[in-house]
Structure 1
């Protein structure tokens, strides 16, 4: 087994069970999509979907990959240490009963103990060329949650599109003055699912006939739209809208040109997975 040569700081934590200073680790406020692997041996440990903002000063996860993490009682009997099951490298400690997520568990991990591998890097390793699609259909929590379940979808990120203010905050978007729509960015493998399939599902998980709102969420930021990257996507989306109108649905979904996508704040990502709740204004309804 080949191990990475550790720096003195990495060895202090991984081999000698040290702890990095709180709020200093590179992954403390890191919420990109991918996998966190052991820095010493490279074994996958955690999915980004299981990472949550605990505000404790260290990266926190409420689940691990199956068989990836080993537990061991500290010598003082007060805490439970977590180690890489592959190489026994020290990760941190695990805590239960804090009620920070629906799973009620927190893996408190040193950033130094991990290496992040993005979804794009993982796909490249597998020889896949990923594509992205952008859908706005009311509160991004529900759209994100339902599109994440599609086979072939690698990741879905909640964010903002279509406005004039760079990198807007949620409060600014809610002021209805920035022009942004709550939008999701869908990263998918086109060898497993195509844009038309995703667009069809988009029209079936929200009400495309409701103007400037979705369910109880009312406002221009909740409008229904697809941001089309090229004429092919635009033609596919327009064809689906024509099919729905022929069935009697007065669709108001707009087909908009691409504009910058700004990821939303970390607490908006994977909202339903983290809270254990279910979407309140999105559900599947067959229309095609």
Structure 2
């Protein structure tokens, strides 16, 4: 990773440890799926799932990519400065004890110190090796939250699948008139985890025997389903269902062909990470 030429504004913040004006940075209210990289050297610093709306005027994260960020006492002797561990570029400051998220940490970062790399761009950079899987198992908040903890998963996005209305809103889906299920899009690295492992986890974090609902969330939009790309994914899914049925479970999970995935509103993305709450209708239960 080589350093690139910086504009005068970028030099002011990254090299001279300046601060951009609050609420002016392009990543302040930015919540797409991907990673944030150092503007100067390109090192990956933060994952999108660790970003949260702090309303402080600068992008905020409650965790960093391991080993990517270095801390040192600021020149003012009071605050803790954060720098890119690879090139020492100034990022901002870190604060603790504010109780804004469960991790109780806020990396307050200048937008101008970073570049955003979308999940799609990451896949291209890795030679198109990343793959996606789609699961519906009740409220997408809980499925997203637990799927994100699987090693090899790059990102999980909440959204809607299986309906007949383009780009539906949450209110439309809740009206039960669009035919959509609350679903998640799982972007994963097949060199670290395979589809069958993800499908096993899916069956272990929700109740595949509850029809049209999950826990207290009732309605057809909360149904259980796996949307498959090909015969291999269908076979893997049906094999797992057969194993569960051999245990005496009356599995209602449907295996459906791939349809359009519509990303849900930003309020729904990384809900439990942003709020510090815990899933109320999803929990892990070993089944295999």
Q: TM-score, normalised by structure 2?
A: 0.87
| Alpha-carbon offset, residue 184 of structure 1 | 0.9
Q: Which residue of 2 aligns with 1:233?
A: 233
In 2, distance between residues paired with 1:149 and 1:83? Answer: 27
| Alpha-carbon offset, residue 225 of structure 1 | 0.9
Q: Which residue of 2 aligns with 1:69?
A: 70
Check conservation: 1:128, 1:189, Cα contact below 8 A. Answer: no
Check conservation: 2:36, 2:116, Cα contact below 8 A. Answer: yes
| Alpha-carbon offset, residue 121 of structure 1 | 4.4
| Alpha-carbon offset, residue 127 of structure 1 | 5.3
SS at match of 1:243: helix
The Cα offsets for residues 5-63 of structure 1, whole Å up to 9 and x where unpaired, read as: 01222223223333334333232232333332211122332222221122333211112
Cα distance change on mapping 1:74 and 1:168 into 2, 3 Å? farther
1:4 maps onto 2:4 in alignment: yes
Q: Which residue of 1 aligns with 2:135?
A: 135
Check conservation: 1:208, 1:224, Cα contact below 8 A. Answer: yes
Q: Provide runs of 4+ in structure 1 moved above 4 Å.
A: 77-80, 119-128
The Cα offsets for residues 72-114 of structure 1, whole Å up to 9 and x where unpaired, read as: 3353x66544333443322223333332111222222111100
**What is the root-mean-square deviation of aligned Cα atoms in Å?**
2.6
SS at match of 2:155: strand
| Alpha-carbon offset, residue 185 of structure 1 | 0.7
In 1, distance between residues paired with 2:190 and 2:78? Answer: 49
In 2, distance between residues paired with 1:71 and 1:264? Answer: 38
Q: TM-score, normalised by structure 1?
A: 0.87
Check conservation: 2:53, 2:274, Cα contact below 8 A. Answer: no
Could you tell me which runs of 5 or more consecutive residues in structure 1 were left unpaired when the two chains were aligned. Answer: none
1:46 maps onto 2:46 in alignment: yes
| Alpha-carbon offset, residue 216 of structure 1 | 1.0
Cα distance change on mapping 1:199 and 1:8 into 2, 3 Å? same
Question: Greater shift after overlay, 244-253 or 119-128?
Answer: 119-128
| Alpha-carbon offset, residue 138 of structure 1 | 0.5
1:58 maps onto 2:96 in alignment: no
In 2, distance between residues paired with 1:80 and 1:285? Answer: 41
In 2, distance between residues paired with 1:270 and 1:227? Answer: 21
Instruction: Name the count of aligned residue pairs.
Output: 287
